[in-house]
Structure 1
């Protein structure tokens, strides 16, 4: 989720993104897009519930299949040297347990990224004339270690799964709560509806 709650501010001379974020309050979430520091808006409760569900589902799967990996919420992912001037903060990501140390908030290795879509993700970045979420998806897919990306709608049962297939990517869209969401690289196999458990979307269907 990248919500332009504040106007993007140009990176300050001689201040790295890591130094800037370290000086900000913990509750603020910032991304580096096209050389600008961009603060995320406060996510909705449904957004947070979906993120929490995915965090749990992924970690349960990883404990069984890939204990050297962990799913975490809102880690900063440095896209350089693949794409300079970009550090994204996925809502949930699978990263390498061995890569981070105490106090670290930015990593470069990403295996899976989850973006829970907000209206602002569909806004266009003027300098690129592309939607924010499209820019971020392309960035994740450009990372050599990234194996999968999940784009999750909040207001409907609607998930797009992108998975690396050789030198390219395949995409699959799921829209039925009973569809099976299978992410082989993360060991995840669940109902699509499991991502939305306890949200207002589920409550409205009862």
Structure 2
């Protein structure tokens, strides 16, 4: 199944909300990974490639190093479910997100997040990633959305401070600065320990 293909049995159903999505998940195999995007359950590639995981781990580590250096109450975490208040049809799983200890009462999805990142893979299309990026930007606390390629060194940085206009970084020596998090790194650091390093 492709990343944006709907399940045939759900084509005539109304958009799924969080409650129906959780019931749907309980009926599926634990080996499957699903997200809810605009009311549609979307199966993600499982398992992610090693390169995908390494890039996500690099970003998580660099973010946490920066946040810890400024004794922030925020922290970065990988593969986390997120919730957008007022939109129960959107329950994605971000590759990396920045949250705080007060992430809400929902045991499955963090309701407060300040940053979300997606590592592109074969199973997610531009349309799918664009939908997630736009929804992440709707969260009033979210400051940044990053999209990282795993086929070449390329990172898109979308920020609230830049009115959600995207900047693309391609040179290994490009510096990516996220001042609200005390974060600054060279693009090459995000690709450490991969064949793109």
- C-alpha offsets along residues 59-115 of structure 1, whole Å, 9 cap, x if unaligned? 11111225211111111111230x3411111100001122257x9221111100010
- For the pair 1:40 / 2:44, whether they are aligned, the reply is yes
Report the TM-score when normalising by structure 1: 0.81
- C-alpha offsets along residues 30-76 of structure 1, whole Å, 9 cap, x if unaligned? 21122222221121110000011111111111112252111111111
Name the structure with the higher strand share: 1
- For the pair 1:143 / 2:147, whether they are aligned, the reply is no
* Match 1:98 to one of 76, 89, 102: 102
Q: Give 1:127's aligned residue.
A: none
* Match 2:191 to one of 186, 196, 205: 196
- The 1:59/1:14 distance shift into structure 2, 3 A limit, reads closer
Report the TM-score when normalising by structure 2: 0.84
Tell me the number of residue pairs that the alignment of Structure 1 and Structure 2 aligns: 190
- For the pair 1:114 / 2:117, whether they are aligned, the reply is yes
Structure 1 residue 119 displacement after superposition:
3.0
Q: Give 2:56's aligned residue.
A: 51
- The 1:13/1:134 distance shift into structure 2, 3 A limit, reads closer
SS of equivalent to 2:196: helix
Q: Give 1:171's aligned residue.
A: 166
Structure 1 residue 120 displacement after superposition:
3.2
- The 1:163/1:66 distance shift into structure 2, 3 A limit, reads farther
* Structure 2: gaps of 5 or more residues: none
**What CA RMSD, in Å, does the superposition of the two structures yield over aligned residues?**
2.6
Distance 1:164 1:14 in 2: 27
